[in-house]
Amino acid sequence: MNNKVILISIDGMRPDGLMKCKNPYVDELKKMASYTFDARTVFPSATLPCHMSMFHSVLPERHGTTTNAYTPQVRPISNVKRVIEETNGEYTVIVTADHGGNDRSHGSDMDEDMTIPMIFYDPQFVPGREYIGVSILDIAPTIADIIGVAPAKEWEGKSLISDVEE
């Protein structure tokens, strides 16, 4: 297992849109990575609360950030394939989203807003393994597991490296 991780969070990336885009690299990733197109983010499905839950592995009621208090800077990653290829297998690459979206908006508890993809690429993640019932809260514990750090006892998520339902 690598002990270096690159986490790519794509703002408002809906899994159904990802599947419909017909980019052949999406199918390639499904074969070479562990993944789900049915993970859940947290409510409210807004950028800042979701990222706080992604990094702190607790629900917004616990981390206390329940609104978008700032506008995040946009630093687009234009080519996930290039990132994966250029890291030369030296990093675990995680691709996910903070939330989905509907009708040019987001923030609700609708499935369109609450469902996100998660893709874990590393030779140690089982290629083609599809996760069921995972959450944005599982990202921080998984990264801690990858880099060999014990999870904080307050964290509500679980590591996806082992002992999860497929």
Query: Which positions touch Zn ion (CB under 5 A)?
Result: 11, 47, 98
CA dihedral 157, 158, 160, 163 (to 10 degrees): -150
Please identify the residue of the shown chain whose CB is closest to the bound Zn ion. Answer: 47
Minimum distance of Zn ion from residue 122's CB (angstroms): 25
- How far is it, in rounded angstroms, from Cα 125 to Cα 116? 19
Minimum distance of Zn ion from residue 47's CB (angstroms): 3
Minimum distance of Zn ion from residue 113's CB (angstroms): 10
Q: Is the CB of 44 or the CB of 141 nearer to Zn ion?
A: 44
The structure tokens 């706080």 sit at 52
Q: Is the CB of 11 or the CB of 145 nearer to Zn ion?
A: 11
22 sits in the region (left: phi over 0; alpha: psi -120 to 50; else beta) called: left
SS3 (DSSP) at 144: helix
Q: Is the CB of 47 or the CB of 159 nearer to Zn ion?
A: 47
